[in-house]
């Protein structure tokens, strides 16, 4: 008799537990947006290593636990980490948790931020887009060279942004002009085919192939900006 009663009690307990579990799952599915509503303030950010997107998580004011976890597959969150956990706080009568997603210098599609609270999570997709330079600056360590074939002019080209650093792999083009505006015979070597590095720098060497010209030589570097081309000029004097 006691065994039967214990069996019936055990079965009843299992059924009750299963019913409660189903009710909890149903409640979560029906109220998912009230439990957690995550969103980004922008769908893209320039990959300059400094700009950022704010990720916000609105959670229920009745939540027992106010801890929100953020994680990303690219870029970095607060503390230069792929994950960040914080407690939500009241903001204009809304319980909000925030994280800041900062890209590196690589443009990237399909950047995913996962936002979660106990039992509920959301995925947010954003993009890291190319951060173009706002300006270019060309310099050389020499001011004069002799007009001999093979003479070299080392060049440093700096790509500059008002915020952060231009994304990796920016390219520049060159024009080399005599004083009268005509093209100078020469060759540009040593340019990394991958483009600019993580300092926004491109190095090159100009090799003279004309031994008859003397006078001013203008070396112009040109890069694509966000809305228009940007350029700068360095002047070298060719002497006899």
Residue 10 pLDDT > 80: no
The answer to whether the 31-129 and 135-239 domains have the same CATH topology is yes
In 21-93, which ranges are E strands?
36-40, 44-46, 53-59, 67-72, 83-87, 89-91
Domain boundaries, the chain: 31-129, 135-239
pLDDT tens-digit map of 166-177: 999 999 999 999
**What number of helices (H) and strands (E) belong to the chain?**
2, 17
Average the pLDDT over 80-94 and give the result: 92
Closest to 219 measured CA to CA, from 164, 158, 177:
177
pLDDT tens-digit map of 110-164: 999 999 998 899 999 999 999 999 999 999 999 999 999 999 999 999 999 999 9
Q: If DSSP codes are grouped into helix, strand and coil, which group holds residue 146?
A: strand
User: For residues 222 and 240, what is the distance between their CA atoms, to the nearest angstrom?
Assistant: 29
Residue 9 pLDDT > 50: no
Contact present, 150 and 66 (Cβ < 8 Å): no
Residue 25 confidence (pLDDT):
58
Looking at per-residue confidence, does 26 or 200 come out higher?
200
Give the end-to-end CA distance of the chain in Å, rounded to a whole number: 118
Q: If DSSP codes are grouped into helix, strand and coil, which group holds residue 141?
A: coil
pLDDT tens-digit map of 183-194: 999 999 999 999
Residue 29 confidence (pLDDT):
56
* The two structure tokens encoding residue 212: 């008859």
User: Residue ranges of the alpha helices (H) in the chain?
Assistant: 2-30, 32-35
pLDDT tier at 235 (50, 70, 90 boundaries)?
very high
**CATH class of the structural domain 135-239:** mainly beta
Closest to 31 measured CA to CA, from 117, 125, 99, 113:
117
* SS3 of the chain: helix, strand, coil, percent, to 5: 15, 50, 35
Residue 30 confidence (pLDDT):
52
Please state whether 193 falls in left (phi above 0), alpha (psi between -120 and 50) or beta: alpha
How many Cβ atoms sit within 10 Å of the Cβ of residue 169? 15
Distance of CA 17 to the CA centre of its chain: 47
Closest to 172 measured CA to CA, from 157, 150, 190, 155:
157
Contact present, 206 and 176 (Cβ < 8 Å): yes
Residue 8 pLDDT > 50: no
pLDDT tens-digit map of 18-69: 444 455 556 455 556 668 999 999 999 999 999 999 999 999 887 777 899 9
Residue 132 confidence (pLDDT):
98
Residue 11 pLDDT > 60: no
Looking at per-residue confidence, does 190 or 11 come out higher?
190
Average pLDDT score over the chain: 89
Residue 62 confidence (pLDDT):
76
The CATH code that applies to domain 31-129 is 2.60.40.10
Closest to 75 measured CA to CA, from 193, 170, 167:
167
Looking at per-residue confidence, does 4 or 228 come out higher?
228
How many Cβ atoms sit within 10 Å of the Cβ of residue 115? 25
Percentage of the chain exceeding pLDDT 90: 79
Residue 227 confidence (pLDDT):
94
Contact present, 129 and 103 (Cβ < 8 Å): no
Residue 210 pLDDT > 80: yes
């Amino acid at each position: 008799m006691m065994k039967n009663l214990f069996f019936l009690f055990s079965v009843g307990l299992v059924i009750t537990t299963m019913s409660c579990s189903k009710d909890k799952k149903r409640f979560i599915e029906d109220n998912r947006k009230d439990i957690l509503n995550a969103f980004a303030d922008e769908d893209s950010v320039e990959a300059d290593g400094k700009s950022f997107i704010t990720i916000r998580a609105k959670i229920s004011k009745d939540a027992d636990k106010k801890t929100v976890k953020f994680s990303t597959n690219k870029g970095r969150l607060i503390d230069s980490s792929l994950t960040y956990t914080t407690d939500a706080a009241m903001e204009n009568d809304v319980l909000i948790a925030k994280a800041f997603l900062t890209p590196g210098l690589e443009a990237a599609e399909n950047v995913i931020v996962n936002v979660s609270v106990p039992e509920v999570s959301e995925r947010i997709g954003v993009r890291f887009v190319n951060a173009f330079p706002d300006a270019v600056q060309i310099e050389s360590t020499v001011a004069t060279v002799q007009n001999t074939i093979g003479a070299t002019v080392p060049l440093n080209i700096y790509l500059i942004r008002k915020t952060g650093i231009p994304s990796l792999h920016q390219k520049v083009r060159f024009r080399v002009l005599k004083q009268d505006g005509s093209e100078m015979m020469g060759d540009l070597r040593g340019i990394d085919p991958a483009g600019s590095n993580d300092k926004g720098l491109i190095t090159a060497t100009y090799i003279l192939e004309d031994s008859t010209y003397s006078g001013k030589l203008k070396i112009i570097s040109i890069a694509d900006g966000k809305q228009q081309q940007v350029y700068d000029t360095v002047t070298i004097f060719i002497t006899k």
